A and B are shown apart, each in its own frame.
Chain A
Amino acid sequence: MPPFRDDHILLIAPGSTWTLAQLGLPESFTPAKVRIPSRMFPGIEEGHYLPNKVHEVTEGQELMLGNGEVVTAGPNGKPYKKRKVGESASKPSATATNGGAADGGAAGAEDSKKPIDTKGDTTMADATDEKEHHDEDHEEEGHDDDEDHEMNGTKDKASNGKIYYDDDFDEEGAIWCMEQGRIVNWECFFALLLHVHEHINPTFHTPILMISQPSWTCTDKERICQFIFEKIKAPGFCMMDAAAAISAAYSAQSSLIIDVGYEKTDITAIIDYNVQELGRTTIPEGGNSMNKHLQKLLPHLSEDEIEQLKHSSICEILPPGIPIPGEEDSDKDTIMRPPDIGAIGMGGPLPPKAPEEEANEEEEEGVTNIAAIVASGKTQEYLAKKEKEKADKKAGLGLGEKRLPNYKREKNTFSYLEKLADQSTGPTKPDQAIEVPDGEHMDVDPAPATEEPQPSENIENATVPTEGDAAPAAPSSEDPLKVNPEAPPKPAGPSLMESMFSGTKDDDEAKKAQEKALRREEKKRQEAAQSGEKRREVEVGTERFKVAEGGILEAIADAAHRVVSSADDYNQRNDCWKSLIIAGNGSRVRGFKDALLNTMIAKYQVSPSTGTIFTSELPSNIPTPSGTGTNTPQPSSFNTQPNALLLQAAANNAAAAALAQHHPSIPQANQSPSEMKIAKIPEYFPEWKDAGFEECVFLGAQLGAKIYFVTDQGANKGFVTRADYNMQGPQAIHNI
């Protein structure tokens, strides 16, 4: 078999909401190029699926509406344009590419249309032409067979009696083929795979690597393998476990992987590159449980708004010690603080510091008086006044509010994008006008304040291909790095006086940053206008800090502890805890990772950590262990508690060395976890750094594909070849 080439490898990572795919391995690995929502729509024919909602409209209606734009009561209750996808005309053989599709006909009605939902594709106008072209084929395929009966109701008896409208925004009737990672609708899933395959349209000699979800059963994998070989006819196929892929991306030998998805969280322990199949678990908590919790707190917002609120930068989980504005520094916050911050090694919880605090100091200086106004609760009146005053002077607009960091503001706004195609993840509810509850106001500020709360920070974020909304792209663990350049020149306690004297430079910087922000805003709005999106400000109160209070953190922490505890090799459990990997798009919420780590440390980490034992000096007042061993250590020795464990560690090594016996006694472990920290993000993938490592499962897939298909070339049976499949059938997938 000729060797596979880098640029002829197809990677597919199916997920419950998004399916990622990419053809070819670039020189430097990049985030997935294709994102397709994991849903299909029932096609015109029974058992056929289409990637977009297709409306049937008779030609008569079309004439009435004219020039290809159909004005209908769409799901949003307002008119919008639908594209005309084509009329049936002469037909090439519809199923030419699909061979003898025997299986439920899932293959039949696929099209090769370019999905407009790929990231960054906001210029729909350009895409439309191409789409129209493709869609003609597509429509014919679907239309072919039941043309006769569809004809019945139409006035026009010509062969092209029906017109189909491809509706990119309507999600009604969508079938999501996966739920919590499990495949619930096979026909639909296969249709999706075929859609992905045809959309990318690789050559015949393109092997496929698929990321398998942990919850897939062995039979599931066999079925997929069968489909890949018999329908897609790939020359090589392999499946990579999602957790294995994530650990490969981090190149971690032992790790604990927490993959927070939409409706589920997979927790897997990896020891010595081996997935611990037995202990791994999938719990039904994920991004959606946060949505639900927010929905409970903010009943007046629609599902869509909640989702976008979660994505926006104002929604964050505050680190311990930072009170939620407007509330007392409540009991909860003090309790959440881990027992001994000083004793915990690096990677421990962040000291109580809001992520943006330093970055904002410079801004705060100039606006101390405004902060006072905000604190006094008159922000809105003040702003209204200010807006009037400076209506023509854009640069200064809303400056004051913008400068106050998110965590100090009782209320903040995010801009809600109405009708952003495929942004929403659930079936969209018919959108009503937003009710404005008392005390809230619709911000008419043309520059959405929340989009750029921190100009200085957002410069870094600007490269991120956000989907309209500023996703909290930079993991907050990077914050210390980020703030360093800003922090030094700033005195700790900014005062009005200082700012008056030294303000000029800062003002300049601030102004520049702001101009940049405004320019970006402008651009965004233009893009939005082009793509038919509409922005609107929605204001929320402190609920935005409570996104994770629905028990998700505790549930994940407990499951994680169970998973590691069930790992058979108890000597290696500590290694898992030392390299936590929190991935998945559910963990994008600001502060989520730190909050999760803090929760776990506070509850499960054995204090003190081994890290401090071996670095700290031996105090001279080691308490001698009391003779009976039943005495608890003296109260005076409380501060030097590490010594107990130090002794223990030393004793254990000695004991292990002395254990020269013939019976395989497995060395006894110490209590774990003695240390927890988040694994270091790999540094040598610049493209990934910008996009965030939440989807690093795809990076792992790329690494895996490189090794399996290119480096190894099947020498170690890294993938199933056509020949293997012919010999062994679908079960070949288990033998790799």
Chain B
Amino acid sequence: MASTPQMSQVLPSTTKPAELEYGGDEISALVLDPGTNTTRCGFAGEDTPKTCVPTSYGIIPDPEETKFLGKLKIGDNAIHSVIDGMEIRNPMHEGIVENWDVTTEIWRHCIEYRLSSRVEEHPLLVTEPIWNPLKKREKTTEIVFEDFNVPAYFLVKSAVCESFANTKGTALVVNVGHTYTSVTPVIDGIPLKKGSERTPLAGQHLTTQLRHQFSDLGIRMAPWLMIKTKAPYTDLTNPTPLRTRDYGFQPHQSFLELQQDRFIHEFKECISETWPKPKTFPTDINSVPESNRLLQDKAYEFPDGYQRRFGLDRCLAPESLFNPSVSPKPFTGETPKGIAEMIKDSIDHIDADARVTMLNNIVVVGGTSLLYRFNERLNEELMAMFPGPRVKIYSPGQIPERKYSAWLGGSILASLGAFHQLWISKQEYDEIGANIIERRAK
């Protein structure tokens, strides 16, 4: 019998490859990891997401648009263009979707922008925080099947993904993200509701604190987009005149804040630093003698050209993550517990026999954990709290792995052969409805 095309090394270049040589099951799944700050998406099996679009969106009010009461602007370029009347909003709150119509559009953009123009061909894995309520989970299911028309779908808890991404089935996952810091115990791949905690002490909190700190100092926080060129100066009392760009209109306040976030973010990356020892941060930073400062000054130049050296005050905002009472901007309402306290609470809720394992397997991920010396401080705090058992922190050494841990775990999961049995198919959804998610994916 003649050899089949598969067996021969190379087909003669004039022969068409036989049909069905590649099947539909080879189509790679998409992994979508929606966050409050950014929404990440990419193909399963890859090591970084392909797209990462801001979850914030711009809206230009327009009463003629009936669906959104305005024109939506989605994507990095769109929300950073200066448009008259454009307001920046966010459809999510603490990882929970609030505005489904817009979120659907953002997800669609995220997928179609650079991944695939044919959403309906790919199985889709979506991550969710552990406190996602049933209603929202059902809504997600509905949208995925009704709007995107995907062939198969599954919803996983992001904490599980994060522990998998760090090659752990059992771990205490600490995710220091943008709007919240969460602690979730995961045992053998099952996240425990009991013992999971969260707090708003995270990236956005830092941004708010820094913004407050800067305005207290009297710094003009003109973002890059609003100025023409900068003129270096160091004396705040005698600033050089601001060379603003005139767009012919005043951009919306929310847009200005988004733009300010850009340099505040840069400040976080290169200036902010965590005070390394617990409970030793000087209460009055202005009265510390020079010999005791233990910290080098770092200079930062603001977009308008103002240069300033930051000393101990660059530790202030990060310190408030652990010790919220020092926050430059006081909390409205109850002051939350610090991150280390929260981890202690979580450990206390776990069964006594699992505690040692948990302490041995603390996985720290999330963009804000990249704060300089954050992990050292967390380690010190936990060591002081749990002097007996060995505390061990695992944290990826690569920046993308920290930032996209949840996505990465999802990517690993979806590419596993065994995972294929878990997919919820379109057919099942058609038979049972959105409630299938509660039956199949707890």
Which of A338, A628, A644, A652 interacts with B286 by CB under 8 Å?
A: A628
A652 to B26 CA separation, bound complex (whole angstroms): 49
Q: Are A603 and B307 in contact (CB under 8 A)?
A: no
Q: Which of A204, A559, A629, A731 has the most CB of B within 10 A?
A: A629
**Chain B, residue nearest A606 (CB):** B301
Give chain B residues whose Cβ lies under 8 Å from the Cβ of A730. 22
Give chain A residues whose Cβ lies under 8 Å from the Cβ of B17. 229-230, 725-726
Q: Are B13 and A644 in contact (CB under 8 A)?
A: no
**Contact A731 to B50, CB < 8 A, known contacts A632-B308, A641-B232:** no
Chain-A contact segment, one of B87-95, B109-117, B127-135, B170-178: B109-117
Is A329 engaged at the interface, CB distance under 8 Å to the other chain?
no
Q: Are A635 and B307 in contact (CB under 8 A)?
A: no
Give chain B residues whose Cβ lies under 8 Å from the Cβ of A568. 399-400, 403
Give chain A residues whose Cβ lies under 8 Å from the Cβ of B228. 335, 603
Which of A570, A607, A663 interacts with B232 by CB under 8 Å?
A: A607
Is A558 engaged at the interface, CB distance under 8 Å to the other chain?
yes
Is B311 engaged at the interface, CB distance under 8 Å to the other chain?
yes
Q: Which of B6, B50, B307, B393 has the most CB of A within 10 A?
A: B307
Q: Which of A204, A568, A645, A725 has the most CB of B within 10 A?
A: A568
CB contacts under 8 Å to B, within A335-361, are 335-336, 338-340
Give chain A residues whose Cβ lies under 8 Å from the Cβ of B374. 665
Which of A217, A283, A647 interacts with B112 by CB under 8 Å?
A: A217
Which of B21, B115, B269, B271 interacts with A727 by CB under 8 Å?
A: B21
CB contacts under 8 Å to A, within B114-140, are 114-118
Give chain B residues whose Cβ lies under 8 Å from the Cβ of A627. 288-290, 293
Which of A1, A233, A628, A633 interacts with B234 by CB under 8 Å?
A: A633
Is A68 engaged at the interface, CB distance under 8 Å to the other chain?
no
Is B80 engaged at the interface, CB distance under 8 Å to the other chain?
yes
Give chain B residues whose Cβ lies under 8 Å from the Cβ of A339. 229-232, 305
Q: Which of B26, B43, B298, B403 has the most CB of A within 10 A?
A: B298
A630 to B287 CA separation, bound complex (whole angstroms): 11
A368 to B300 CA separation, bound complex (whole angstroms): 51
Q: Are A277 and B10 in contact (CB under 8 A)?
A: no
Give chain B residues whose Cβ lies under 8 Å from the Cβ of A728. 22, 26
Which of A233, A234, A602, A647 interacts with B297 by CB under 8 Å?
A: A647
A635 to B240 CA separation, bound complex (whole angstroms): 13
Question: B276-291 CB contact bits vs A (8 Å, 1 = yes)?
Answer: 0000000001111110
Nearest-neighbour CB distance to chain A for B46, whole angstroms, equals: 8
**Chain A, residue nearest B247 (CB):** A551
**Contact A663 to B370, CB < 8 A, known contacts A217-B112, A625-B297:** no
Q: Are A729 and B270 in contact (CB under 8 A)?
A: no
Q: Are B309 and A625 in contact (CB under 8 A)?
A: yes
Is A158 engaged at the interface, CB distance under 8 Å to the other chain?
no
Q: Are B229 and A645 in contact (CB under 8 A)?
A: no
Is A63 engaged at the interface, CB distance under 8 Å to the other chain?
no
Is B388 engaged at the interface, CB distance under 8 Å to the other chain?
no
Q: Are B297 and A644 in contact (CB under 8 A)?
A: yes
Is B77 engaged at the interface, CB distance under 8 Å to the other chain?
yes
Q: Are A278 and B51 in contact (CB under 8 A)?
A: yes
CB contacts under 8 Å to B, within A628-648, are 628-630, 632-633, 635, 638, 641, 644-645, 647-648
Give chain B residues whose Cβ lies under 8 Å from the Cβ of A503. none
CB contacts under 8 Å to A, within B53-95, are 76-77, 80-81
Give chain A residues whose Cβ lies under 8 Å from the Cβ of B114. 215, 217-218, 277
Q: Which of A282, A606, A632, A635 has the most CB of B within 10 A?
A: A632
Give chain A residues whose Cβ lies under 8 Å from the Cβ of B235. 632, 635
Q: Are A629 and B293 in contact (CB under 8 A)?
A: yes
Chain-B contact segment, one of A288-296, A306-314, A666-674: A666-674
**Contact A671 to B271, CB < 8 A, known contacts A235-B13, A602-B230:** yes
**Chain A, residue nearest B314 (CB):** A629
CB contacts under 8 Å to B, within A683-736, are 721-723, 725-731, 734
Nearest-neighbour CB distance to chain B for A282, whole angstroms, equals: 8
Is A442 engaged at the interface, CB distance under 8 Å to the other chain?
no
A695 to B18 CA separation, bound complex (whole angstroms): 39
Give chain A residues whose Cβ lies under 8 Å from the Cβ of B212. none
Q: Are A603 and B230 in contact (CB under 8 A)?
A: yes
A460 to B331 CA separation, bound complex (whole angstroms): 68
**Contact A671 to B21, CB < 8 A, known contacts A565-B262, A632-B309:** no
Q: Are B116 and A663 in contact (CB under 8 A)?
A: no
**Contact A666 to B370, CB < 8 A, known contacts A204-B13, A562-B80, A648-B297:** yes
Q: Are A726 and B11 in contact (CB under 8 A)?
A: yes
Question: B353-374 CB contact bits vs A (8 Å, 1 = yes)?
Answer: 0000000000000000010111
Nearest-neighbour CB distance to chain A for B408, whole angstroms, equals: 13
**Chain A, residue nearest B265 (CB):** A565
Q: Which of B231, B296, B310 has the most CB of A within 10 A?
A: B296
Q: Are A729 and B22 in contact (CB under 8 A)?
A: yes
Question: A261-293 CB contact bits vs B (8 Å, 1 = yes)?
Answer: 000000000000000011101111000000000
Is A7 engaged at the interface, CB distance under 8 Å to the other chain?
no
Is A655 engaged at the interface, CB distance under 8 Å to the other chain?
yes
Nearest-neighbour CB distance to chain A for B347, whole angstroms, equals: 19
Nearest-neighbour CB distance to chain A for B239, whole angstroms, equals: 11
Give chain A residues whose Cβ lies under 8 Å from the Cβ of B231. 339
Which of A1, A220, A602 interacts with B9 by CB under 8 Å?
A: A1
Give chain B residues whose Cβ lies under 8 Å from the Cβ of A205. 13
Q: Are B266 and A671 in contact (CB under 8 A)?
A: yes
Question: B1-37 CB contact bits vs A (8 Å, 1 = yes)?
Answer: 0000110011101101100011000111000000000
Is A156 engaged at the interface, CB distance under 8 Å to the other chain?
no
**Contact A217 to B117, CB < 8 A, known contacts A278-B48, A632-B308:** yes
Is A172 engaged at the interface, CB distance under 8 Å to the other chain?
no
Q: Are A632 and B234 in contact (CB under 8 A)?
A: yes
A652 to B313 CA separation, bound complex (whole angstroms): 17
Q: Are A628 and B311 in contact (CB under 8 A)?
A: yes
Is A651 engaged at the interface, CB distance under 8 Å to the other chain?
yes
Is A664 engaged at the interface, CB distance under 8 Å to the other chain?
yes
A723 to B22 CA separation, bound complex (whole angstroms): 12
Question: A217-228 CB contact bits vs B (8 Å, 1 = yes)?
Answer: 111100000000
Is B413 engaged at the interface, CB distance under 8 Å to the other chain?
no
Is A502 engaged at the interface, CB distance under 8 Å to the other chain?
no
A648 to B307 CA separation, bound complex (whole angstroms): 13
A11 to B195 CA separation, bound complex (whole angstroms): 59
Q: Are B77 and A281 in contact (CB under 8 A)?
A: yes
A571 to B148 CA separation, bound complex (whole angstroms): 39
Is B429 engaged at the interface, CB distance under 8 Å to the other chain?
no
A672 to B265 CA separation, bound complex (whole angstroms): 13
Give chain B residues whose Cβ lies under 8 Å from the Cβ of A284. 77
**Chain A, residue nearest B49 (CB):** A278
Is B319 engaged at the interface, CB distance under 8 Å to the other chain?
no
Give chain A residues whose Cβ lies under 8 Å from the Cβ of B49. 278
**Contact A638 to B6, CB < 8 A, known contacts A217-B114, A666-B399:** no
A697 to B285 CA separation, bound complex (whole angstroms): 54
A215 to B48 CA separation, bound complex (whole angstroms): 18
A538 to B105 CA separation, bound complex (whole angstroms): 49
Give chain A residues whose Cβ lies under 8 Å from the Cβ of B310. 629
A558 to B226 CA separation, bound complex (whole angstroms): 11
Q: Which of A282, A555, A628 has the most CB of B within 10 A?
A: A628
10 A-B pairs with the lowest CB-CB distances in the bound complex, closest first: A629-B311, A729-B22, A651-B296, A664-B397, A627-B290, A602-B229, A663-B375, A668-B372, A219-B116, A568-B399
Interface, chain B (partner A; CB < 8 A):
5-6, 9-11, 13-14, 16-17, 21-22, 26-28, 43, 48-52, 76-77, 80-81, 112-118, 224-225, 227-232, 234-236, 243, 245, 262, 265-266, 269-271, 273, 285-290, 293, 296-301, 303, 305, 307-313, 370, 372-376, 379, 393, 395-397, 399-400, 403
25 A-B residue pairs with Cβ-Cβ distance under 8 Å, sorted by A, are A204-B14, A217-B113, A219-B117, A230-B17, A233-B13, A278-B50, A282-B77, A336-B229, A555-B81, A558-B224, A562-B80, A568-B400, A570-B269, A625-B290, A625-B297, A627-B290, A629-B297, A635-B235, A641-B307, A647-B296, A665-B374, A666-B399, A669-B269, A726-B17, A728-B22
